[in-house]
């Protein structure tokens, strides 16, 4: 492979920011873009209103600056690296797509609100990152506000998430008294309110400030020194290998809003975040990013919600080689070749045509209904397929039927295609074969309803079943229908595997106590 392409691949850093809504993901993303030169004055950009991306704002920035800011993939250059940030919505548009996006990244940044600690959505997303064994970096945000004690937050990380942590820096005070951070990694103190040019102060071999500063008289400074001493003696040590495996999370304290600690975070993150990683084929072989052959997999399909445009975009994470517009690719599932002339790097009003991209990048392919989530695309004649994307345990369920029974054929066709596409999960009751749909986010049902009408001309009626705890069964042959009941509905999934839908955790535990020989398990 040409050295230039290899260098391009090595410069890629592809990651997602995971967080519970309101932890500050939008705010930090803005600041990162600002450092990347994508936005000249970060302060003037308001990314979000009333809990939802103000998409128009992003598009406006995009038009003004001619840069790539959309809610799907953000790209910028910093310190010789090409950074790709994949969006994982934490809001009402949370869905299986959100989880699958994490299949396409090489690292994750976990944003935590210092006053709230680890919140439910963060736990869900964290688990998926953990399962993949990718490095996870933690940014504890909003230090300009009064929050939990830093040691308590570190403990919470370890206890709630079960991941060990290493504080890269340590806050000196917080809220109104937030004086700065003790940067353990760079051996310096970064001032929250720098005097003149003096933003960084060096620390000496004893770990104390090496220069005169009024801060040394404060109790916050003394407390921070004491804490750092304690971390040095009793805390985990920094271990790059364990970071790479996702066993140890480097923790940064800061404030996205006041843009404090963000640049140091970005620089340190880029130093340790991995370049594009190899992916396994179904046969268990690694496909290295530097492999000559272009390959990638589809992790998301975005259908245009506008009925005037029936096109869809399939998002491809490039695993190896180089993409060039107009190239011909093979989709082994279909044994079919496609010429990739209509490609886009970003999803926005003004989609930007991409001519070249390399391993680590994300490209969008215009799709007229050929691709499925999980599809492998390979340049030339290659025929391997990447490991299947995992199926996730849905939490929300509805019963669904066609309003007009005469439309039952289209109804089943539509469901089949949307299920294959990964938009929704399919279940059916044992004998009556009523259709039940499962999702991880409410929006999936709305999209389903909309698309059934727009694309298959079927009006559906949906009856909410609410949230359920879905469990698959290791020893299906031992399950008897009499074990099912009101609180433990027995259904089949699309592969005809039996699944219990429990009313809640309590019902599941009750079932397990009563039938200890039935071994339940959940998907991711
Ligand atoms: P999200 O994308 O994770 O949902 O969070 P977002 O960045 O939108 O931030 C949620 C709220 O928290 C916003 O306030 C934002 O200004 C605030 N915030 C983010 N980072 C910090 C920080 O470091 N310190 C403080 N004090 N606040 C922070 P909002 O009032 O809900 O929204 P807005 O009207 O200001 O946009």
The answer to whether the CB of 380 falls within 8 A of the CB of 330 is: yes
Whether 427 has a pLDDT exceeding 90, the answer reads: yes
Q: State the average pLDDT for the chain.
A: 86
CA distance 154 to 138: 10
Distance 226 CA to ligand 1 centre (A): 31
Residue nearest (by alpha carbon) to ligand 1 atom 19: 24
pLDDT at 76: 86
CA proximity to 158, closest of 47, 259, 234: 234
| pLDDT category of residue 110 using cuts at 50, 70 and 90 | very high
For ligand 1, whether the C-beta of 122 sits within 6 Å is no
CATH code that applies to domain 3-168+240-272? 3.40.50.300
φ/ψ region of 343 (left if φ > 0, alpha if ψ in -120 to 50, else beta) reads beta
pLDDT at 373: 87
Ligand 1 pocket, mutate which of 143, 252, 257 (most atoms under 8 A from CB): 257
Residue written as token pair 């003096």:
198
For ligand 1, whether the C-beta of 255 sits within 6 Å is yes
CATH code that applies to domain 279-379? 3.40.50.300
Residue 28 alpha carbon, nearest atom of ligand 1:
7
pLDDT at 354: 64
Distance 28 CA to ligand 1 centre (A): 9
Residue 256 alpha carbon, nearest atom of ligand 1:
23
pLDDT at 109: 97
- What is the average pLDDT across 69-86? 80
- What is the average pLDDT across 158-184? 95
Structure tokens at 241: 């290998």
Q: At what angle do helices 408-421 and 443-456 cross, to 10 degrees?
A: 130
165-199 as b/e, with b when 16 or more CB fall inside 10 Å? bbbbbbbbbbeeebbbbbbbbeebbbbbeeeeeee
Per-residue pLDDT of 30-61, as tens digits, reads 899 888 876 543 333 333 333 333 343 444 44
CA torsion angle 302 307 308 309 (round to 10): 20
For ligand 1, whether the C-beta of 25 sits within 6 Å is yes
Residue nearest (by alpha carbon) to ligand 1 atom 31: 22
CA distance 372 to 375: 6
Whether 353 has a pLDDT exceeding 70, the answer reads: no
CATH superfamily, region 396-521: Peptide chain release factor 3, domain III (3.30.70.3280)
Distance 444 CA to ligand 1 centre (A): 26
pLDDT at 64: 43
Per-residue pLDDT of 183-194, as tens digits, reads 999 999 999 988
Per-residue pLDDT of 432-464, as tens digits, reads 889 999 999 888 898 889 889 888 999 999 999
Query: What radius of gyration do the chain's Cα atoms show?
Result: 25
Identity of the highest mean pLDDT range in 35-44, 82-91, 186-195, 274-283: 274-283
Ligand 1 pocket, mutate which of 19, 20, 31, 48 (most atoms under 8 A from CB): 48
Same fold, 279-379 and 396-521: no
For ligand 1, whether the C-beta of 144 sits within 6 Å is yes
Distance 46 CA to ligand 1 centre (A): 10
* List of residues 6+ apart from 3 with CB closer than 8 A: none
Per-residue pLDDT of 300-351, as tens digits, reads 887 654 455 556 778 899 999 999 888 889 999 988 888 877 665 543 333 4
Task: Give the residue extent of every domain in the chain.
Answer: 3-168+240-272, 176-237, 279-379, 396-521
The answer to whether the CB of 252 falls within 8 A of the CB of 139 is: yes
Q: How far is CA 111 from the centre of its chain?
A: 12
Kindly state the helix (H) or strand (E) to which residue 60 belongs, with its residue range.
helix 55-65
User: pTM score > 0.85 for this model?
Assistant: yes
């Amino acid at each position: 492979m040409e050295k230039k392409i290899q260098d391009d691949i090595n410069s890629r850093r592809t990651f997602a920011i995971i967080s519970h809504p309101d932890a500050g993901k939008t705010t930090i993303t803005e600041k990162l873009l600002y450092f990347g030169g994508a936005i000249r004055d970060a302060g003037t950009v308001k990314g979000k209103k009333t809990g939802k991306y103000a998409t128009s704002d992003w598009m406006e920035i995009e038009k003004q600056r001619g840069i790539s800011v959309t809610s799907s993939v953000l790209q910028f250059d910093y310190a010789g690296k090409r950074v790709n940030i994949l969006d994982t919505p934490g809001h009402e548009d949370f869905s299986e797509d959100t989880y699958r996006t994490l299949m396409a990244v090489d690292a994750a940044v976990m944003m935590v609100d210092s006053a709230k600690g680890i919140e439910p959505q963060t736990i869900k997303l964290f688990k998926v990152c953990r399962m993949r064994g990718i490095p996870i970096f933690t940014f504890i945000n909003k230090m300009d506000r009064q929050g939990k004690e830093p040691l308590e937050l570190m403990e919470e990380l370890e206890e709630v998430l079960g991941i060990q942590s290493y504080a890269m820096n340590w806050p000196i005070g917080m809220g109104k008294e937030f004086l700065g951070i003790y940067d353990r990694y760079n051996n310096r103190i970064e001032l929250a309110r720098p005097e003149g040019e003096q933003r960084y102060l060096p620390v000496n071999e004893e770990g104390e400030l090496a220069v005169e500063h009024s801060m040394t008289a404060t109790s916050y400074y003394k407390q921070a020194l004491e804490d750092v001493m304690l971390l040095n003696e009793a805390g985990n040590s920094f271990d790059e290998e364990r970071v790479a495996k996702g066993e140890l999370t480097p923790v940064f304290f800061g404030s996205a809003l006041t843009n404090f600690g963000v640049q140091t975070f970005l620089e340190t993150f880029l130093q340790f975040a991995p370049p594009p990683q190899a992916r396994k084929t179904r046969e268990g072989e690694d496909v290295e990013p530097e492999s000559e052959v272009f390959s990638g997999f589809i992790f998301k399909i975005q259908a245009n919600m506008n009925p005037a445009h029936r096109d869809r975009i399939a998002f491809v994470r490039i695993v190896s080689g180089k993409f060039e517009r107009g190239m011909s690719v093979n989709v082994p599932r279909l044994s079919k070749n496609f010429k990739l002339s209509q490609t886009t790097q970003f999803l926005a009003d003004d989609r930007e045509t991409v001519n070249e991209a390399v391993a680590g990048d994300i490209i969008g392919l215009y799709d007229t209904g050929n691709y499925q989530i999980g599809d492998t695309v390979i340049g030339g004649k290659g025929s391997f397929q990447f490991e299947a994307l995992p199926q996730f345990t849905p939490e929300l369920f509805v019963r669904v039927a066609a309003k007009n029974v005469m439309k039952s054929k289209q109804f089943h066709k539509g469901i089949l295609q949307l299920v294959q596409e990964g938009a929704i999960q399919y279940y059916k009751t044992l004998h009556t074969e009523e259709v039940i749909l499962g999702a991880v986010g409410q929006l999936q049902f709305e999209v389903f309803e909309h698309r059934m009408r727009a694309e298959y001309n079927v009006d559906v009626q949906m009856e909410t079943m609410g949230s359920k705890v879905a469990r698959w069964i290791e020893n299906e042959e031992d399950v008897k229908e009499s074990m099912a009941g009101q609180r433990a509905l027995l259904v089949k999934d699309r592969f005809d595997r039996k699944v219990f839908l429990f009313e809640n955790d309590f019902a599941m535990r009750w079932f397990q106590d009563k039938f200890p020989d039935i071994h339940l398990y959940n998907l991711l």
